[in-house]
């Protein structure tokens, strides 16, 4: 599929970009709490028209309009109810403190949310860290841990040059930013008095999405999709030097370490353009196959999706937009239960409600949670097949 309204690449300015995914009128939010079915179906919508850059491999939504989004108090992407997620966060924190030596450091976290991650880095008395979390949507006390942890309800950027920073952390933010180089440059400028700062970023890996045909991992809130090469391009254009990029969370995310040193030039796009073209060819087949599987399973018993976050909400909107085949969507976050899926209006329920829906099939939206989901099903005495739609594996 070739776009007629090609835009130049926001990372490298190349005019050679090509649209490979085109979905009109998708819900703009995946994690907004919708109080009833009508509100859920009436959610604001926008177009997802993803292009890849042939020069650097950056993938971006050419139709993104940030004005459509509002990250209000109804926005809930809290994943901390999952023990798998806890373990993952703890591993990241231990990795920073023990392996990367983040000790006795003044830490700045950009987009700190409720401050959960930063608190873990600061509260370990042996590490001796202090922290300042920045997030315009932060709600909570502005100081805790005896003043060693502070929060500012603002962005980190120009005007913050006086803030000492040995370590800067920014997790799951840059994929929401339509002009990532501008964003990185503003961080770089705010660090001018901290030339030795170490910078750590985390973002989803688009290579994982493309390789596994995860059609429900492209959605409106994410307007920028990276892999190693486009990260190198973006960071180097902003004046950072990438010291390392490693895949984490079974390849779903990338962990980036950067410094403020001079940077070498970046290399070729590393096959991502070919992968995006393959994805465009395979997407319809993948969607058909998922839809057929759901229809077939709905014929013999209730079907539930597991996970009402971005992946599950996107999947529901793709395979069952009119709420005909999927009975409900399960989420262990109690704040989501009793609400409805943005766009489709599927009810969001807890594991304890599954028996009521006669569920025989559970579609797992993230394979990393497989063991945890099976355990919850056993606990509720639900006998259901657990299906990973990306691999078509069925496990009971
Ligand atoms: Zn580019």
CATH number at residue 318: 3.40.50.720
Residue-number span of the structural domain to which 312 is assigned:
297-395
Per-residue tens of pLDDT for the chain, all 396 residues: 444 467 999 999 999 999 999 999 999 998 888 899 999 999 999 999 999 999 999 999 999 999 999 876 677 777 777 888 889 999 999 999 999 999 999 999 999 998 999 999 999 989 999 999 999 888 899 999 999 999 999 999 899 999 999 999 999 999 999 999 999 999 999 999 999 999 999 999 999 999 999 999 999 999 999 999 999 999 999 999 999 999 999 999 999 999 998 766 555 566 788 899 999 999 999 999 999 999 999 999 999 999 999 999 999 999 999 999 999 999 999 999 999 999 999 999 999 999 999 999 999 998 899 999 999 999 999 999 999 887 765 555
Residue 326 counted as domain residue? yes
Note the pLDDT of residue 230: 95
Residue 52 lies in a domain: no
Q: Give pLDDT tens digits for 179-191.
A: 999 999 999 999 9
Ligand 1: distance of its center to the CA of 18 in Å?
A: 11
The whole-number pLDDT of residue 270 equals 66
Is position 301 within any domain?
yes
Q: Residues whose CB is under 5 A from ligand 1 (ion)? A: 9, 11-12, 14, 53, 55-56, 58
Residue 378 covered by a domain: yes
Q: How far is CA 259 from CA 195, 232, 242, 281, 356, in A?
A: 8, 12, 6, 39, 54
Whole-number Å distance, alpha carbon 312 to ligand 1 midpoint, is 30
Does some domain include residue 94?
no
| Residue 43 falls inside a structural domain | no
In a domain, 380, yes or no: yes
d(CA 118, CA 88): 14
Query: Three-state SS string across 233-277, please?
Result: HHHHHCCCEEEEEEEECCCCEEEEEEECCCCCCCCCCCCHHHHHH
Cα Dmax for the chain = 64
Determine contact, residues 185/238, Cβ cutoff 8 Å: yes
Cα–Cα dist 57/360, whole Å: 41
Distance 56 CA to ligand 1 centre (A): 4
Q: What angle do CA 17, 23, 28 make, to 5 degrees?
A: 105
342 is a domain residue: yes
Q: What percent of the chain has pLDDT over 90?
A: 81
Q: How far is the CA of 232 from the centre of ligand 1 (A)?
A: 11
Report pLDDT for 74: 72
CA 57 to centroid of ligand 1, rounded, Å:
6
What pLDDT does 47 receive?
98
Q: 66 C-alpha vs ligand 1 centroid, how far in Å?
A: 20
What's the domain count of the chain? 1
Report the predicted TM-score, pTM, of the whole model to 2 decimal places. 0.88
pLDDT, tens digit (0-9, with 9 covering 90-100), for 65-116: 999 998 766 777 777 778 888 899 999 999 999 999 999 999 999 999 989 9
**Ligand 1 centroid to 59 CA: how many Å?**
8
DSSP annotation of 97 reads I
């Amino acid at each position: 599929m070739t776009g007629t309204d090609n835009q130049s690449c926001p990372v490298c300015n190349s005019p050679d970009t090509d649209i490979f995914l085109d979905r009109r009128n998708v819900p703009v939010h995946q994690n907004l709490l919708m109080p009833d079915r009508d509100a859920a179906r009436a959610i604001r919508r926008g177009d997802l028209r993803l292009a890849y850059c042939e020069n650097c491999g950056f993938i971006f939504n050419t139709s993104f309009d940030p004005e459509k989004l509002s990250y209000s108090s109804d926005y809930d992407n809290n994943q901390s109810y999952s023990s798998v997620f806890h373990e993952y966060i703890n591993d990241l924190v231990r990795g920073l403190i023990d392996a990367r030596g983040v000790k006795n450091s003044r830490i700045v976290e950009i987009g700190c949310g409720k401050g959960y991650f930063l608190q873990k880095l600061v509260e370990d008395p042996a590490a001796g860290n202090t922290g300042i979390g920045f997030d315009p949507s932060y709600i909570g006390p502005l100081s805790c841990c005896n003043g060693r942890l502070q929060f500012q309800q603002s962005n980190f950027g120009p005007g913050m040059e006086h803030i000492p920073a040995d370590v800067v952390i920014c997790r799951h933010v840059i994929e929401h930013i339509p002009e990532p180089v501008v964003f990185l440059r503003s961080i770089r400028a705010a660090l001018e008095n901290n030339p030795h700062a170490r910078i750590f970023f985390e973002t989803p890996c688009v290579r994982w999405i493309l390789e596994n045909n995860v059609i429900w991992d492209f959605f409106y809130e994410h307007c920028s999709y990276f892999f190693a090469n486009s990260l190198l391009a973006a960071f180097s254009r902003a004046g950072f030097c990438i010291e390392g990029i490693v895949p984490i969370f079974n390849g779903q995310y990338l962990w980036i370490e950067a410094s403020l040193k001079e940077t070498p030039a970046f290399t070729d796009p590393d096959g991502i353009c070919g992968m995006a073209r393959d994805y465009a060819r395979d997407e319809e087949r993948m969607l058909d196959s998922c839809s057929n599987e759901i229809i077939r399973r709905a014929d013999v018993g209730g079907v539930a999706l597991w996970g009402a976050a971005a992946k599950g909400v996107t999947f529901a909107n793709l395979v069952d937009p009119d709420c005909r085949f999927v009975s409900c969507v399960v989420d262990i976050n109690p704040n989501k239960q009793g609400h409805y899926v943005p766009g489709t209006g599927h009810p969001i329920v807890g594991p304890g409600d599954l028996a009521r829906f006669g569920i025989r099939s559970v579609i797992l939206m993230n394979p990393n949670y497989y063991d945890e989901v099976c355990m919850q099903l056993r606990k509720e005495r639900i006998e259901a097949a657990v299906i990973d739609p990306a691999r078509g594996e069925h496990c009971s």
